[in-house]
Structure 1
Amino acid sequence: MRFTPGPTTVPPSVRDAMASEQPNPDIESAFADRYDATCRKLAEIYGTANDVVVLGGEGILGLEAAITSLVAPGDRVLCVSNGLYGDGFAEFVDAADGDATLVSAPYDEAYDVAAVEEALEDAAEAGEPFEVATMVHCETPTGTLNDLEPVLDLLSKHGVLSVVDAVSSLGGTPVPSDRIDVCLGASQKCFSAPPGLTTAAISDRAWDRMESRDPSSLYTNFLPWRDVSDGFPYTHLSANVAALETALDRILEEGLERVYERHERAAERCRKRGAELGLSCYGDPDRQSPTVTAFHLPGQAKRIQQRVADESDVVLSTGLGDLADDILRLGHMGYNAEVDKVDRAMDAVGAALE
C-alpha cells in the first residue's frame, strides 16, 4: 500500500478512464468539450468564480509559471515562508530576475504576520512597493497547514497580487481561492489522479498583469491558456485530463463537505494512533494539515520508513532537505483519506517501532 502525501493511490475508475481510447486533443472537439467540463468541475472544487485552467505538466510547473507570468525583471516579490516550498518561491523569482524578499519563520512555527506587515509598510514608505506575494497553504514536507487569511488581508490592503501553492490542500480541506489571484493545484495529491497536470484559478487582476507584460515563455506561461477557443497552446495530455475529470467526478459525487470531513477523521485517527505509539507531530499539532501528518523522529525516519516497506509492504515518505531523516510523513489525502487505510499504515509503523 502506498500511503504517501503524493502522488497518491489512484482509484480503479480513474485508472480505467486514463486507459480508455482518447480523442485527438489537437483536432477533435470531444477533447475541448472534456477540457471545458473539467475546468468547470475544478472551479466548483476551488469554490471560485475566477477562470480555471489546466496545463500539461506536474505541479511544479504551476509554481514556476505563476512567477514567469507575473514577474518582470526587477519586480519586487514578497515570499512568505515557513517551509521548503515557501523558500523555493524565492528561487523562482531569482530565476525570473525579480527582486525577492523572503520573510521566513522557523519551519515548526506559523507565519510571522507582524514581519510581513512590517515588510509591506517599509516597502510602501520607501516608494518601492511589492508587486506580487507568494505563500504555501500546506507545506507538505512538514505537514503544516498555514492560516492564509491574515496575510491575504495585508496583501489586499497594500494592493499586492497573491500567488498560493495549494497543491497539497486543494480537494482535501477548504482553500480561500476567491481571495487569491493565482491559486495553484495539481492532479496527483488530493484529487488522486496520476501526476502530470497543473491546475490554476486565476483572477482578472492577475490576467490583466500578465497581459500588460506579455511573458516571452510559451511553456511556463499561463497567458496562452486564457482563451483556448481556437485551440490549445500545445498538444494536451488527453489521457491525464480524462483521468482528472473522473477523479473530480468522484469528489463532487461524494460532496465537498463529506470529503473534508473524511479527511479530518483520517487525520485525527492517524495522530491518535501516533500518540498511542509515543509519537509527536512536527511543530504544533493544531497546525498539521488534514491531508498529511508529519511525525517527528529525529535521526530515525529513514530507518523506520525502510522497515515499514520491508516488513509490511507499506510505502511512506520522510521529510525533505535538512529534515529528511527527522520526519516520517503519512499522506491521508484523496483516495487514502480512510480510517481503515490509516489503521493499516499505523499498524505497520507500530510494528517497525517495536
Structure 2
Amino acid sequence: MTDTTDCLAADRLRMTPGPTEIPAPVRERMAEPAPNPDLEPEFFSCYRNLTDKLTRIHAAGPAGEAPATPDRDTVVLGGEGILGLEAAIASLVSPGDRVLCLSNGLYGDGFADFVEQYGGEPVRCEISWDETLDPNAVEAAIESADESFDVATVVHCETPTGTLNDLEPILDVLESHTIISVVDAVSSLGGAPVPTDRIDVCLGASQKCFSAPPGLATCTISDRAWDRIERVETASLYTDLEPWRTAADEGEEWFPYTHLAANVLGLDAAADLLLEEGLESVFDRHEAAATLCRDRAAELGLDPYPASHEACSPTVTALEFSGSATDLQERLRTEHDVVVATGLGELEDDIIRIGHMGHNARTERVERTMVALETALK
C-alpha cells in the first residue's frame, strides 16, 4: 500500500506559483452535491453567475474598481490553464496567418509554438528573459514587417522568471495598428490589475490567484475577437471557442461538452472570496506579500531574477541562486515542510521561485517561508 502520509502533511506550506493552496470554503463547496451540468437548469444558472463574477474580477482596475465591459463575454473552459492559450490560437489563427508573438519568457515562446502547430507563421519579437517587453521594439517589429498582422500574443506575468510586463504601452501600439490582442494573464488575474477592457482575448486559470483547483481556464473575449473566431475554421472541437459564445445562455442552455461541475462550484466559491474581500484589498495584500518576500531575500543576499525591481510581479518572486536550486528546494520540503518551485528549462537549477499569490499572498506565510529559507541556506 502506498504511504500517503507525506503528500497529505497537514502542516506543509505550499508556496508555489500555482497550483496554490485551496482555502476551506472552496473545498467545502466542491464537496457539495453538484447539479448535472448537461441537464439541470441550476447548473446553467450557477455558470452564468460565475461568469458575471469573473467579468468583474477580470476588469478590476488598480483601485479594485470594475469598469463596464459591455463588448466582452467571459467563458470558462473545462481544462487546465494552458487550454485557454491553445484555444485562443486555434480559434483565431488560420493556416498561413502571420502572428506577432511578443516574448520575454517561456510562455511567450509557447504562443509561437501553438501558432506553428495550427499552421500559422509566428513572427517573434523577443527580448531577454530578465527584462520587460519594449513598446518601441514592438512598434519597430510591426513597421518593418513585409505584411500586416491581424493577431498578436503577449504574456502579462512570465511565471518562470517572476517578470511582469507593462501591458498598457504594448496595447497602445497594438491598438494603433488594429491588431487583435491575446494576453496570457494566467498568473496575474486576481492578484494584480489587468487592463482587460483593452484586451481582445484575456486568459486566466483557476489554479493561480483564484486559489481553486486546476481544471478550468477563463477567457474574456471582445466582440471583434468573436467576429474573427466565427470566420476561422477550426479542426478541433475541444479547442474551438466559437460554440462558447452562446453556451449556457438563457433559452440556449447547453455546453459543447460535459462541464466540470465540481470545479465550477469551487471556482464560484473562490470568486466569492475575492469579491467579498474587495479587489483593492486583494491587490494590496499581494503587494505587501511581494515586498516582504523581496526585502527578506535581500537580507539573505538573494537578488530577484528580473533586471529591475519594477519588473517584478506581485504574485511570484524568482530569486537567483548560485548553488543548486533543486537541492535547496528539496531541503526546504524535507526539513522545513515548505514547498517552493525552481526555474524552468535552462534556469531549472539557477532560480528559486516563491509563489505569493491567491490564498498564499499573506505576510505571515511569506515570513515562515523566508525563515525556512534562511535556515536552509545556513
CA drift at 1:113? 2.4
The equivalent residue for 1:321 is 345
SS in 2 for 1:10: coil
1:173-184 equivalence runs, <5 A: 173-184=192-203
SS in 2 for 1:185: strand
1:282 and 2:305 matched: yes
Amino acid at match of 1:214: E
CA drift at 1:286? 1.7
| Whole-Å separation in 2 of the counterparts to 1:249 and 1:350 | 36
Task: Say if 2:329 and 2:340, in contact at 8 Å, map to a contact too.
Answer: yes
- Aligned pair count reads 351
CA drift at 1:131? 1.3
Amino acid at match of 1:165: D
1:23 and 2:35 matched: yes
1:136 and 2:121 matched: no
SS in 2 for 1:348: helix
Alignment gaps of 5+ in structure 1: none
The equivalent residue for 2:4 is none
1:159-308 equivalence runs, <5 A: 159-228=178-247, 229=249, 230=252, 231-283=254-306, 284-308=308-332
Amino acid at match of 2:182: V
1:32-181 equivalence runs, <5 A: 32-47=44-59, 48-49=69-70, 50-123=72-145, 126=146, 128-181=147-200
Alignment gaps of 5+ in structure 2: 1-12, 60-68
From 20, 27, 30, the equivalent of 1:8 is 20
Amino acid at match of 1:41: K
Task: Say if 1:218 and 1:224, in contact at 8 Å, map to a contact too.
Answer: no
| Whole-Å separation in 2 of the counterparts to 1:182 and 1:171 | 16
Task: Say if 2:17 and 2:356, in contact at 8 Å, map to a contact too.
Answer: yes
CA drift at 1:299? 4.1
Amino acid at match of 1:319: G
Amino acid at match of 1:273: R
| Whole-Å separation in 1 of the counterparts to 2:240 and 2:374 | 46
- Extract structure 1 runs of 4+ deviating beyond 2 A: 112-115
| Whole-Å separation in 2 of the counterparts to 1:217 and 1:225 | 14
Amino acid at match of 1:68: A
SS in 2 for 1:118: helix
| Whole-Å separation in 2 of the counterparts to 1:333 and 1:151 | 24
| Identity percentage of aligned residues | 61
Amino acid at match of 2:268: E
* 1:101-141, Cα deviation, whole Å (9 max, x unpaired): 01100001121322211111123xx3x21110000000000
Task: Say if 1:104 and 1:112, in contact at 8 Å, map to a contact too.
Answer: no
Amino acid at match of 1:149: E
The equivalent residue for 2:373 is 349
1:332 and 2:332 matched: no
Task: Say if 2:73 and 2:220, in contact at 8 Å, map to a contact too.
Answer: yes
Task: Say if 1:76 and 1:130, in contact at 8 Å, map to a contact too.
Answer: yes
